[in-house]
Structure 1
Amino acid sequence: MTFTNQLRKENDDIFQLIFEHPFVEGIGKGDIAKSAIEHYVKADFEYLNAFMKIYGLALAKSTSRKDIMYFHDKISFILHDEIHPHHNFCDYIGVGYESLQGHSLPPTADHYIKHMMYHAQLGTLGEILGALLPCPWTYLEIGKELMEKYQPKEDHPFYQWIRFYADSRVENTTNDMRMLLDRYAEHISPDEKLRIKDAFRKSCQLELKFWEMAYSLEQWPSDGKQAIHS
């Protein structure tokens, strides 16, 4: 069993919870509160900005031109391709994409980004890959799951979103990252493998929390409320 197959098996419980989440199910059913979609796009735009920067830090830690090219290409994919699912959501709620950019992060998105940045700044290339991989992998499986379960047609309100994430481009992104991590894992210590496993599982958990963050319209506690001291 490859290292990434082992990661997937050990985190199947989280993947299943993601598939069953009401926001994800709402995409399949074509029925999500517009306020939840808006909350999601605001946070995901900033999350993907951070994701590109972490790709850049991974690029800096790469030791081969092949790996440098990989991270360069994936930055371009987010910039030029991964905006299309956002546009599908924005069209559905009737809000311009630009108006949902530049907003502050809710707690879960803030924590997720800092989790990845921690491994990018202080960890190995393997830890970075472990922290990054759950994002494309869970979205790929969400897309395939929704495509198989609901078999959406072109008149489905989220057809473009589902088709994008079930598409070969996201599958290639996931498989390429998996192969990179599997190759890296062949030459590392058991302790580093444990750190990668921890980074991967926490990112899976934060993917689940990200969906809940959007669904519940998660916000920071009000700064205007003063603490009560006994």
Structure 2
Amino acid sequence: MSGSQRLLDVGAAIWAAQKSHPFVTELAAGTLDEAAFEHWVRQDYRYLQDYARLFAVAGTKARDEETMTDLLGVAHSVLDTEMDLHRSFAADYGISRGELEATEKAPTCVAYTNFLLRTAYEGSLAEIAAALYPCMQGYLDVADHMAELADEEHRYTPFIELYTSDEFRAEVDWCRGFVDDCWDASPGQQEAMEAVFLTSAKLEYRFWEMAYTEEGWGL
């Protein structure tokens, strides 16, 4: 069994919980409250800034030119393409780039990004691979599930199309290969990879909950 599949098997219950979360099912149906989606856009924009940093730091830890190029390339893609698409989503709801950048991270977003960056700076390349995997594979799997649930086009169809696109599938395929390479090259770190993966996956689930409840600091 490949390392990427082993991690997915370990996280199967979390994957099932994500797919059944009301944010996911209501977005698929087109009935999700706009305020919840706007909250997701704002928070995910801030999240992506640090997700790009995760790839950039990973690139500095890579020991071969091809892996370094791939990791830094993903960091650039997140900053140049995915965040631009988030700005487009935001503009549809009257949210400016300045407002996105000024958004205060909700507690769950703080917890998730802090975990990713701590893993980036303190962990091995194998642990970083496990930390970044739930986001990429999770969004593809959840979006595929949304596409199956959706009966017709609606205001959230562009979200589903973004994360089921050929371009995104290619990124996820690369990510799986990266995880597999790290798993095979670092047998002594496989237990640590599982632990990091599960924490990251749980935070992915909590991110949906954060957006759905419009979580804030209450201050």
TM-score range, shorter chain: over 0.9
* Greater shift in the superposed pair: 82-91 or 40-49: 82-91
Instruction: Return structure 1 stretches of 4+ with deviation > 4 angstroms.
Output: none
Deviations 1:163-193 (A, max 9, x none): 1101121111111111112112113243x11
Match of 1:10 in 2: 10
Match of 2:200 in 1: 203
**Within-5 A mapping of 1:147-226:** 147-153=147-153, 156-190=154-188, 192-222=189-219
Please tell me the residue identity of whatever aligns with 2:116.
Answer: M
Deviations 1:4-38 (A, max 9, x none): 10111111111111111111112111122222122
What are the ranges of 5 or more consecutive residues in structure 1 without an aligned counterpart? 223-230
Rounded Cα–Cα distance in structure 2 between residues aligned with 1:151 and 1:69: 40
TM-score by length of 2: 0.93
Secondary structure of the corresponding residue to residue 217 of structure 2: coil
The answer to which structure has the higher helix fraction is: 2
Root-mean-square deviation (CA, aligned residues, Å) is: 1.7
Deviations 1:147-174 (A, max 9, x none): 1221543xx2111110110112111111
Q: Which has the larger radius of gyration?
A: 1
Rounded Cα–Cα distance in structure 2 between residues aligned with 1:123 and 1:116: 10
Rounded Cα–Cα distance in structure 2 between residues aligned with 1:152 and 1:82: 24
What are the ranges of 5 or more consecutive residues in structure 2 without an aligned counterpart? none
Please tell me the residue identity of whatever aligns with 2:106.
Answer: P
TM-score by length of 1: 0.89
Rounded Cα–Cα distance in structure 1 between residues aligned with 2:133 and 2:41: 20
Instruction: Give identity over the alignment, percent.
Output: 25
CA-CA distance at 1:57 after TM superposition: 0.6
* Greater shift in the superposed pair: 3-12 or 144-153: 144-153
Structure 1 residues 165 and 4, CA, compared in 2 at 3 Å: closer, same or farther?
A: same
**Within-5 A mapping of 1:70-149:** 70-83=70-83, 85-87=85-87, 89-149=89-149
Match of 2:51 in 1: 51
CA-CA distance at 1:89 after TM superposition: 3.8
Rounded Cα–Cα distance in structure 1 between residues aligned with 2:106 and 2:80: 25
